[in-house]
Amino acid sequence: MSNPSSVTVSSLIRRTVFQAVLLIVIVMSFLSFYYGFVQHYKQQRLQVQQLSELLVNSASTVDGASLVAQQVDILLAGDPTLSSIVFYSSDSPVLALDKLDIEQQNRDWYNAWFADSMSFNEPVTSRYLSTSSYYQPSATNSGIDTSTSDGVNSGSVVESSPLGAQDVLIGYLNITLDIHKLRSEWLYQNAWLLFIISGATVISMLLLLRRLTWVADSATELAKVCQIVVSNPDAEQLPVIQQRCSFKETRDMRLALASLFNRSKVLEDKLRSLAAYEQQLHNKDLSLNTQRNSFQSMITHELKTSLNAIAGGLQLLESQYASAEQKDSLSIIHKGSQRLEATIEQIIQLNRIEKGQMSIHVTEFNPLQLLSDLFTEFEEVAKQKELELTSRIHHIDYKLKGDADKIKQILTTLLENAIKFTDSGEISVESQLTHFNTSVRWEIKVKDTGIGIDNKYFEDIFTPFFQVDPSGTRHYEGVGMGLPVLSQIVQLLGGSIDVASEPNVGSQFTVILPLQSVYQSQSRYSQKPFAGLSILCYYNEDIGVLAEQLRGFGATVSAKQHELSVLQKLSKTQVDMVMITQEVRPEKAIQMARLIRAEESRYRVLIIYWYPPHKQDNLDNFEYSLKAAGVDFCYPATENSKTLYKLIKKDARY
């Protein structure tokens, strides 16, 4: 199969435009041909009308009959398109003939191409003759003279005196033009031109349509191939693109498609190779992990056994008499064994976490007490390095549920590192609790003014055995297991850890832990005095301890954060009381109260607004607006259960 000729779309457009212009020229030529015959018909019609006028003028004379007969013979013999020339005698005008002549003159285009014949009537008048004396009728005539073979009536003319005579109508001269014969002769004479124009028109239209379909065919073929490739992603070979004419643009598209297809196949092969290589690496990693875990278990077991022996020997030596120098040596050995035991314990913990063998033991604990114990433990160590240990606690005494031992280990590691890597300055611990409906988020920040960490090591410091300064002359002790174990424990508890640090400025580690809150009601409320009471709390971001306090009193509490949720709850469920928390601004509380009152239909709910205690002095500025909007009571927010109980019991009458 020969390769198709390559053309550009721009050249195709130029050729197409040229052919379109040529087609227009041909069409115009055809119209000119059509118009030419119409003009030929008009000229013939005018000629016939002039002939009729000539014949009428001849017939109006005294001896016009013989003259008209001669003229008619000449005309019929010389012009085959004249079908007949006839005289009709009539002494009164025929209006229908005049109207017919006018209509025929206004339809030249139609008559020229579709009529078979055309009659022209011209009135004949004379001042010398009358209808009765123009012809002498023969014995066979009955009122109208008969025509000769040449179309002129025969008979003797009887002249009358012209003295005092006026023009009178003696009849009509009718000339019939054979348009069919006129059209045939004209077409016969111009057949070659019509044939050329028609052929050129058809050929130009076919070429134009053919060229216009080339681009569409090329695009259609490319689309078919693309559809085949999309529907058959496992195809190993690109289908052949059949094209009658190859444009430069479509050829480039075809080459690009083939190149992309080949590249995709190469990439698929590489992907398969990478997948196989990844599987090999995965299998190898599994094998290495197994070997590493086995090695860690073996080495930790052996080291643990040796440490137990050393610890036992140290206990025996402590009961014996020793000099001061010997006691110092024993103390050094004891500290070293403790450090080594802690490192081994970290390795064991990391190994257990990676194997999934470490579980979480949830107990109730007091976060404030836990922090206090840690400060007591590390305060003496901080004083030895002349460091200031400070705290910023943003919550009161609570009880939470969580793994207190692991949380203590996390904070212990952070404080140990902060003291170890800080030579001067301070170490601060910041604690904040954020309350949600059924959970609490505890955020602890440990900040120091130590040596800091370059940001390029932020991820590496959580890798086991990583050291920022791995040289043998490094100043700080440790094997790089504290932060990796800490990170794994935080993940095990469902929390997160973040680090922000700057070299020679200090570091800040932020730990966020999700915990469960435990509301400890006083013993006098153990009987649930608000059992059966339905309360809806409307809050902005943090509902605080209000919901837990109310649940401790036995109330059924639901919390909603959006106005639409509150209205939907009130429309579906009967609620005894709506409480708007202190974090909701008075303007928003007013809007919420108005919406609630506007939607009420079956019953009236009690609305209480808890405003921030520090706005007690400004209560007059918003209390009137709140009550006007429908709020029943405005109380200062309190975390004291006794005060909360009294307010609801007395003023709210529950």
pLDDT tens track for 319-376: 666 677 777 777 777 777 777 777 777 777 777 766 666 777 888 888 888 998 898 8
CA dist 436 and 545 (Å) reads 9
pLDDT for 143 beyond 80: no
pLDDT grade for 140, boundaries at 50, 70 and 90: very low
* Interval 221-249 mean pLDDT: 72
Percent of the chain topping pLDDT 90: 9
CA dist 253 and 266 (Å) reads 20
pLDDT for 569 beyond 80: yes
**Domain 527-651 indexed as CATH 3.30.450.40:** no
pLDDT for 637 beyond 90: no
pLDDT for 52 beyond 70: yes
For residues 134 and 160, the answer to whether their CB atoms sit within 8 Å is no
Per-residue model confidence (pLDDT) at position 35: 76
Per-residue model confidence (pLDDT) at position 448: 92
pLDDT grade for 595, boundaries at 50, 70 and 90: very high
Q: Which residues of 305-319 are buried (b: 16+ CB within 10 A; e: fewer)?
A: eebeebeeeeeebee
Alpha carbon of residue 198 to chain centroid: 54
State the DSSP H helix or E strand holding residue 605, giving kind and residue range, or none if neither.
none
* Interval 215-228 mean pLDDT: 74
Q: Per the structure block, which two tokens stand in for 276?
A: 């196989």
Minimum mean pLDDT range among 243-252, 356-365, 435-444? 243-252
Alpha carbon of residue 318 to chain centroid: 78
Strand spans (E) along 42-185: 82-89, 117-126, 168-178
Q: What is the pLDDT of residues 11-37, one digit of tens each?
A: 666 677 667 767 777 777 777 777 777
pLDDT grade for 148, boundaries at 50, 70 and 90: very low
User: CATH 3.30.565.10 region(s) of the chain?
Assistant: 359-518
pLDDT grade for 135, boundaries at 50, 70 and 90: very low
Per-residue model confidence (pLDDT) at position 472: 41
* Interval 609-630 mean pLDDT: 85
Per-residue model confidence (pLDDT) at position 356: 62
More confident site: 134 or 511: 511
H runs (alpha helix) in 60-116: 64-78, 95-105, 108-114
User: CATH 3.40.50.2300 region(s) of the chain?
Assistant: 527-651
CATH number, span 245-357: 1.10.287
At residue 395, the 3 state secondary structure works out as: coil
Closest of 150, 174, 186, 173 to residue 78, by C-alpha: 150
More confident site: 156 or 87: 87
For residues 122 and 55, the answer to whether their CB atoms sit within 8 Å is yes
Is the C-alpha dihedral spanning 19, 22, 28, 34 positive or negative?
negative
Is the C-alpha dihedral spanning 78, 84, 90, 96 positive or negative?
negative
For residues 580 and 538, the answer to whether their CB atoms sit within 8 Å is yes
User: CATH 1.10.287 region(s) of the chain?
Assistant: 245-357
State the DSSP H helix or E strand holding residue 301, giving kind and residue range, or none if neither.
helix 248-318
**Domain 359-518 indexed as CATH 3.40.50.10300:** no
Strand spans (E) along 237-319: 246-247
pLDDT for 160 beyond 50: no
pLDDT for 99 beyond 60: no
Predicted TM-score (pTM) of the model is: 0.40
For residues 611 and 583, the answer to whether their CB atoms sit within 8 Å is no
State the DSSP H helix or E strand holding residue 427, giving kind and residue range, or none if neither.
strand 426-435
DSSP for 538-591, written as a single string: E-SS--TTHHHHHHHTT-EEEEE-SHHHHHHHHHHS--SEEEE-TTS-HHHHHH
Most confident region among 257-266, 442-451, 605-614 by mean pLDDT: 442-451
pLDDT for 488 beyond 70: yes
Question: How many CB atoms sit inside 10 A of residue 454's CB?
Answer: 11
Is the C-alpha dihedral spanning 455, 457, 460, 466 positive or negative?
negative
Per-residue model confidence (pLDDT) at position 476: 64
Helix axes 64-78, 9-59, angle to 10 degrees: 160
Minimum mean pLDDT range among 130-134, 457-461, 464-468? 130-134
CA dist 484 and 464 (Å) reads 5
pLDDT for 559 beyond 80: yes
More confident site: 584 or 317: 584
447 φ/ψ angles, rounded to the nearest 5 degrees? -120, 140
Q: Which residues are within 8 A (CB) of 446 and not within 5 positions of it... i.e. 6 or more apart?
A: 411, 414, 415, 418, 427, 428, 429, 508, 509, 511
468 φ/ψ angles, rounded to the nearest 5 degrees? -60, -40
CA dist 354 and 358 (Å) reads 9
CA dist 601 and 598 (Å) reads 8
Rounded to the nearest integer, the mean pLDDT of the chain is: 76
CA dist 653 and 647 (Å) reads 9
Q: Per the structure block, which two tokens stand in for 581?
A: 């928390």
Q: 260 vs 224, 225, 238, 425, CA distance in Å?
A: 16, 13, 10, 63
Q: 257 vs 115, 217, 458, CA distance in Å?
A: 63, 17, 46
* Interval 204-233 mean pLDDT: 73
Per-residue model confidence (pLDDT) at position 512: 93
At residue 644, the 3 state secondary structure works out as: helix
Per-residue model confidence (pLDDT) at position 6: 55
* Interval 188-202 mean pLDDT: 74
Per-residue model confidence (pLDDT) at position 179: 81
